[in-house]
Structure 1
Amino acid sequence: MYAMVAQDWALMRDSFLRCQESSDWSPAMYCYSAGCAALEMYRDAVGKTNDGKNKAEHGKTKAEHEHALKAEAEEYLRKAPQMAGRKRVMARQLPIETFLQRKVAKWEERAKRLGVDLADALACIAWAECCSPPAAKRGSERTAYRRERLDECQAQLDKARGWESFSLEARVGMRVQCGLETVRWLRRRLDEGEE
């Protein structure tokens, strides 16, 4: 758990895999958590610039390394629901296992609908769902739809800005500030498009 809080994804993945070997509490939850850690490793690898160090570190090109991390994340995430149901409390499945089964099924459906890999379909809000208006809307209706979504984002970010956790977790504050900057940039872009 400390590795998760510290965002040391490799240690988190390895720790949950060791838990899976040494504890029979919920192998599905351990596998799901390892998959989430591998997913974050994949996202970090995609976000890094290709500075030539990657080949020396991993013996692979950046694309090969990203592909390996993506495959690992998808393997663990798909394996977790299959392992669910082995452990029961009062003759019922563990709630965390029910949760992860629903989550993975939802992500699989989203990946299929968007035509992307499972690892690429995971996000807080998929971009396609967030800003693409219904197909029937055209021209000014599309702009109005995007402005509505932009106003929703602004309202949620303004709420988050007032959270007390800002003082506890600097990364939350950095993400909110980044979100606010993105909203300002998009608002300027929409305004320029109307001129």
Structure 2
Amino acid sequence: MESTQHPGTLTGHVFLAQLITQYAALHKKTSGPRAEAYIQQIGIRTGEWLERFYHDEQRSPWTVDKYAQVIVDIKNAIGGHFYIADVQPDHVLVKASGCPFGDAVKEAPHLCNMTSSVFGGIASRQFGFAEVSLRKRIAAGDTGCEAVIYFTPDNDENGDVYKDLPLTPDNGNPFLWEEETITLLNEEMQRNDAYILELLEELEDLKKKVNEQEDHQ
């Protein structure tokens, strides 16, 4: 009996990472550049939710050291391999040898906007301003990731800027989006459904043509 070879151990994390990257790739095809904006908004809101796990009872202001430890812990908790490379009063540099989405992220490189917006959103809420530059990305073919987060606009990087972000009220849910955003997301989901149906129709047409050719042989 032949054994089936797999590219690695199948776990819930591996399956979920593959599912997310495939959906993100499909969403990118159907909605184009807007897919990046949606990923960014999801990252900002997700970051606010994650941030709450690290507040102390007094909600004391964070130090730069604590911020660096938190963002690395978040990434590693979901399957990444991140570490702190440098901490300065005005910026933090983190690096990674592995992405939470694994090599599958190469199929949906715009998911890196999630990293940028989680890092930038948390820094903006803690320090008032953030600019995130993803210098290296596994998704883009680099051997590792490298992200620098600045807390002041006075830097030489050309990254994503995060400031004046709306805060969810205490005991609120950052995932309860406003009606306009929900409507837009619903429209995008309908576009995805229409795209899938179109693909199915094309496959049926192709199948019919193949059958017709076989009948004429």
TM-score range, shorter chain: under 0.3
Q: Kindly indicate whether structure 1 or structure 2 has the higher relative contact order, using CA contacts under 8 Å at least 6 residues apart.
A: 2
Task: Compare the two structures and name the one with the higher helix fraction.
Answer: 1
Task: Compare the two structures and name the one with the higher strand fraction.
Answer: 2
Q: When the two structures are superposed, what TM-score results if normalisation uses the length of structure 2?
A: 0.22
